[in-house]
Amino acid sequence: MSVAAQTKLALVTGASRGLGAAMAEALAPTHHIIAVARTTGALEELDDRIKQLGGSATLAPMDITKADAMAHLCRSIHDRWGKLDMWVHSAIHAPPLAPADHIDARDWQKTVDINVTATAVLIPMVAPLLGADGQAVFFDDPHVGEKFFGAYAASKSAQVALAGAWAAETTRIGPRVHVLTPDPMPTATRARFFPGEDRDALTPAGDVAKRLLLQLR
């Protein structure tokens, strides 16, 4: 399906693997996917899968913490298409689990940069592209108060707080902002948190993506 034939556009940040890739594939039959991630090879593999589904994608291998690069991307989206119909923000950094009094300063900074600061910078950039009728999707992963999850839980809670505030602020004027909670999935992020877990007992990311999309319609 050509870009010209597409009626909808979806920006997926953190699209190279896990839930981000699954959301991109689930949206591909109805949306042209603008896929953002740092790993070029994984984006190319995603592109192949999207083409097999009859969809199309624009690959944007870049780091979401680079504000200038993301601003350039958003400007390019505006100049080429004029709008976005959906933004799926699944980019996340999972720092090593550690006691609160042993959190490494560099791990903390990277976690905040990706999970919090980049989100705060991207919302004002993407919001004008979504306009009143678009949708933005964020994902909660509640671990507040769990031992060793201090850095991750703090950053994820801050991200969700930003999204929640934006959702409340735009209830009447749009865009529609959603904070969804996925089922446990056999992703690389979860494997870092729960090594040795029975991954067969978890819900495949593709199934989770399809379920979550039903909540948006």
Question: 9-210, which class in CATH?
Answer: alpha beta
Across residues 160-184, what is the average pLDDT? 97
% the chain with pLDDT above 70: 97
Residue with tokens 């978890």: 202
Distances in whole angstroms, Cα of residue 74 to Cα of each of 77, 132, 136, 175, 217 = 5, 17, 15, 16, 25
Across residues 105-123, what is the average pLDDT? 98
**Residue 3, pLDDT score:** 53
**Residue 89, pLDDT score:** 98
**Residue 147, pLDDT score:** 97
Backbone torsions φ then ψ of 175, nearest 5 degrees: -70, 165
pTM check: above 0.75: yes
Q: Where exactly are the structural domains of the chain?
A: 9-210
Q: State the average pLDDT for the chain.
A: 95
Q: Is the pLDDT of residue 70 over 50?
A: yes
Which parts of the chain fold into alpha helices (H)?
18-27, 40-52, 67-80, 105-112, 118-130, 150-169, 188-193, 205-214
Q: Is the pLDDT of residue 173 over 60?
A: yes
